[in-house]
Amino acid sequence: MKNINLIYLRNGKILLDFNKYHHWKKIQEQYDEYMTSMDFQELHQIIEFLKTENNLSDDKTQQIIEKINKTTESVIEIDF
């Protein structure tokens, strides 16, 4: 089980943050441009959410999955 935070920033960036936070206010303290965030426990949940909410093609969805799987970083930016 993973802890994945989908974070929307005021500057338009969308981040996946794999750090564990006990409250959304801790995420807000971490990011100056914080607007909102959602917590997911499984990768497939966040992929399905991103695909549905952003009307992503299968190719774009696969690119995001590959980016997530290849990263060694605790935070990555999602590009659409």
What's the pLDDT tens digit per position in 21-30?
989 999 999 9
Delimit the domains of the chain by residue range.
Answer: 4-78
Q: What is the DSSP letter of 72?
A: -
Which residues, in sequence order, are bridge partners of residue 34? 9
Predicted confidence at residue 76, as pLDDT, reads: 96
Q: pTM for the complete prediction?
A: 0.88
What's the pLDDT tens digit per position in 36-68?
999 999 989 999 999 999 999 999 999 999 999
Predicted confidence at residue 71, as pLDDT, reads: 92
**What DSSP string runs through 4-67?**
EEEEEETTS-EEEE-S--SSHHHHHHH-TTEEEEEEESSHHHHHHHHHHHHT--HHHHHHHHHH
Dihedral sign (CA 2, 72, 70, 10): positive
